[in-house]
Amino acid sequence: GENVEQHPSTLSVQEGDSAVIKCTYSDSASNYFPWYKQELGKRPQLIIDIRSNVGEKKDQRIAVTLNKTAKHFSLHITETQPEDSAVYFCAASKGPPSNTGKLIFGQGTTLQVKP
Amino acid sequence: NAGVTQTPKFQVLKTGQSMTLQCAQDMNHEYMSWYRQDPGMGLRLIHYSVGAGITDQGEVPNGYNVSRSTTEDFPLRLLSAAPSQTSVYFCASSTSSRTPRIGYTFGSGTRLTVV
């Protein structure tokens, strides 16, 4: 089955710097890659996603890149702010048109943005 | 529109007791899943369902049962609670519809302690 590895497990940056979190996946049939943000004591929330027919996607200060050949994808946060401090999870699944509904997560990255 | 509703929010069980964690969604989503979250281990998939009457095992199914008799409800049953099942449990739902997003929506979680 699918296995998702996420690095680093913790990341500390200064406010205004960029942060990069990387994930690798094992199942070449996976084609949907979402990223979730979880603040302390709260539920995970989807922040951005990418499908395998796209190499990069941006949404304001966050972007995700995908390298299908190498089977890895990354989350980039620019101009980090203290409110970006949270745990970030990557995930992978077989999305549409053959959506299996089986979403596998990485282990998470705790991002700390220092003021 | 309440989204994904989980009950209870907190529960303490004695070893060997059984209980059911409830999950309901009002978004007419086909896909529903149960995850457990443990420190340093991310979100691990317990069971998932692609529609009423259809369920399948995830990464860590042992000790848990599920059923999906309706589209709205996806209860998780602990057959004989063990301390290793102490965790935070999240229910999530998703749809195969391509727009606006196909990411999972999570419930607020159930914090379970087995003593």
pLDDT tens figures, B14-72: 999 999 999 999 998 889 999 999 987 889 999 999 889 999 999 999 999 999 999 99
Residue B6's pLDDT is what?
Answer: 97
Chain B contact for A95 (CB, 8 A cutoff)? yes
pLDDT of residue B97: 62
Q: Per-residue pLDDT for B4 more than 90?
A: yes
8 A C-beta contact, residue A35 and residue A88: yes
**Nearest-Cα residue of chain A relative to residue B97:** A96
- B23 close to B73: Cβ distance less than 8 angstroms: yes
Q: What is the pLDDT of residue B59?
A: 93
State the pLDDT at residue A102. 85
CA neighbor of A98 nearest in space, from B17, B98, B52 = B98
Tell me the Ramachandran region of residue B3: left when phi exceeds 0, alpha when psi lies from -120 to 50, beta otherwise.
left
Question: Per the structure block, which two tokens stand in for B35?
Answer: 């995850």
A16 or A53: which leads in pLDDT: A16
A40 at B interface, C-beta within 8 A: no
Residue A4 has pLDDT above 90, yes or no: yes
Q: Which residues in B lie closer than 8 A to residue A45 (C-beta atoms)?
A: 106
Q: Give the residue from chain A lying closest to B101, CA to CA.
A: A49
Mean confidence (pLDDT) of chain A: 92
B42 and A6: CB-CB below 8 Å?
yes
CA atoms in the 13 A half-sphere facing the CB of B68: 21
Mutate to test the interface with A, among B68, B102, B106, B110 (most CBs of A within 10 A): B102
CA distance B112 to B89: 7
The answer to whether the beta carbons of residues A88 and A21 sit under 8 Å apart is yes
For range A21-46, the mean pLDDT: 94
Asked whether A94 and B24 are in contact (CB, 8 A), the reply is no
User: Residue B113 is encoded by which pair of tokens?
Assistant: 């302690």
Six-digit token string for B39 = 């420190």
